[in-house]
Amino acid sequence: MTEVSIEALTKHYGASLAVNGISVKIAKGEFISLLGPSGCGKTTTLKMIAGFEDATSGAIRFDGQDVVHVPAEKRDIGMVFQSYALFPHMTVAQNLAFGLEMRRRPKREIAERTARVLDMVQLSGYADRYPRQLSGGQQQRVALARALVIEPRILLLDEPLANLDAKLREEMRVFIRDLQKRVGITTVYVTHDQAEAMTMSDRVVVMFGGQIAQYGAPADIYDRPASLEVAQFVGQVNILSGRLLSTEANDISIIDTALGTVRIGNMPRSPDGAVTLVLRPEAVELFPESAGQMGTPATITASYYSGSLIDYRLALDSGDTMNVQTFPRSRFSPGDRVTVKVDGDRFWALGAAA
Ligand SMILES: Nc1ncnc2c1ncn2[C@@H]1O[C@H](COP(=O)(O)OP(=O)(O)OP(=O)(O)O)[C@@H](O)[C@H]1O
């Protein structure tokens, strides 16, 4: 297993800055995702780790050794692309054997390793098929097998599931993650799909405009986003403006919001006392007004049913609007009067220390 350390890595394409001084440490055997919108520099970062692009400046270390000047073929990387990139005129077994033949491994070893890795990706019976005789998901598993059969130090995947349909994509997430854990290989995964990054990764690097906006465990990024941009990129969010009323001795701030007073720890100091709070739609509970619960009164303005969940839009009596997501246990209709309740620790103040 290999530790990867990226330090102040920068890439210019002419005058444009694709990657702007990013630093990331990836522990041995860790699975991290580079997550961000199109053009944020994910693929360029991956290509620099692989050695397909030269860095303009900065360091990339594998177990402490700077590989910036090591050519791609000597970096010992396994790579999987969105497009599979299988050799169409070769069978599955030949596709897998190719990298080992290039490394001049003995025939017997090639046969053994190919069979073992095909078994790992559950394609043992498919060795003699050609790529065109396989489904998209099977082709991607062959691409994964081909990357792993050379027993690389690091596995790099660039949007590997983007060509698959939604259901298969979800199955493949679990498949790749399980396989990665079994093999125990340090892995960097590029995606613009937040659900994919969240479900698969130990840690997620959120990138915007060539820079790192946040690097942390999925739950930290979701529950304690570093900025509004991160909060919005990784899920739906309600934004509430608040006003600091007072601060208690234990550094708990009391904040006035449209949902009542909220207590928040480690708040950043703002000169005018203004605070921006974020609240995930599923952190909100709704009760019929007739139930007489304590909370904030509101009216349902729209509802969207999606099977397992319902999304509501609602208008608070104060005039603020909110999105709420619930299980379809209690069904409300537009016009219904409701009481809104939120557990105090579900609020997150932007700029607060995580
Ligand atoms: N070979 C190149 N020459 C010039 N500019 C490039 C080149 N490759 C990438 N860029 C630019 O660098 C920036 C980062 O591109 P990159 O492909 O790394 O983004 P990305 O986050 O992977 O996006 P996507 O999800 O669309 O692949 C973009 O502005 C892109 O236009």
Contact call for residues 261 and 255 (beta carbons, < 8 A): yes
Q: What's the pLDDT tens digit per position in 232-252? A: 999 999 999 889 888 888 888
SS3 of residue 291 by DSSP: helix
- Pairing of β 321-326 and β 57-62: unpaired
Two tokens at 304? 């969207």
User: Is the pLDDT at 329 greater than 80, yes or no?
Assistant: no
Q: What percent of the chain has pLDDT over 90?
A: 74
CB-count exposure of residue 108 (10 Å: 0-12, 13-18, 19+): exposed
Among residues 115, 57, 103, 56, the alpha carbon closest in space to that of 78 is found at: 103
pLDDT at 330: 74
Contact call for residues 5 and 61 (beta carbons, < 8 A): yes
pLDDT at 129: 94
Can you give the C-alpha Rg of the chain in angstroms? 25
Protein residue with least CA distance to atom 8, ligand 1: 44
**Average of per-residue pLDDT values in the chain:** 92
Q: Angle CA(21)–CA(23)–CA(25) in degrees, nearest 5?
A: 165
Pocket test for ligand 1, best of 13, 190, 206, 207 (most atoms within 8 A of CB): 13
Two tokens at 139? 């082709």
SS3 of residue 85 by DSSP: coil
User: Is the pLDDT at 354 greater than 70, yes or no?
Assistant: no
Protein residue with least CA distance to atom 3, ligand 1: 13
Weakest-pLDDT range from 136-150, 193-207, 255-269: 255-269
SS3 of residue 320 by DSSP: coil
What is the residue-wise DSSP string for 158-227?
ESTTTTS-HHHHHHHHHHHHHHHHHHT-EEEEEES-HHHHHHH-SEEEEEETTEEEEEE-HHHHHHS-SS
SS3 of residue 297 by DSSP: strand
- Pairing of β 77-81 and β 65-66: unpaired
Alpha carbon of 156 to ligand 1 centroid (Å): 17
User: Is the pLDDT at 352 greater than 80, yes or no?
Assistant: no
Pocket test for ligand 1, best of 10, 34, 43, 156 (most atoms within 8 A of CB): 43
Protein residue with least CA distance to atom 10, ligand 1: 18
pLDDT at 219: 95
Atom number, ligand 1, closest to the C-alpha of residue 210: 14
Q: What pLDDT band is residue 283 in, cutting at 50, 70 and 90?
A: very high
CB-count exposure of residue 338 (10 Å: 0-12, 13-18, 19+): buried
User: Is the pLDDT at 351 greater than 80, yes or no?
Assistant: no
Rounded to an integer, what distance in angstroms lies between the CA atom of residue 329 and that of residue 345?
24
SS3 of residue 132 by DSSP: helix
CA distances from 69 to 2, 10, 65, 153, 333 (A): 18, 15, 11, 17, 63
Q: What is the DSSP letter of 250?
A: T
Rounded to an integer, what distance in angstroms lies between the CA atom of residue 165 and that of residue 170?
9
User: Is the pLDDT at 346 greater than 70, yes or no?
Assistant: yes
Rounded to an integer, what distance in angstroms lies between the CA atom of residue 275 and that of residue 278?
10
User: Is the pLDDT at 268 greater than 80, yes or no?
Assistant: no
Two tokens at 132? 């065109």
Q: What is the pTM of this model?
A: 0.91
Rounded to an integer, what distance in angstroms lies between the CA atom of residue 46 and that of residue 328?
41
φ/ψ (deg, to 5) at 66:
-70, 125
Pocket of ligand 1 (CB under 6 A): 13, 16, 18, 36, 38-44, 192
Alpha carbon of 19 to ligand 1 centroid (Å): 9
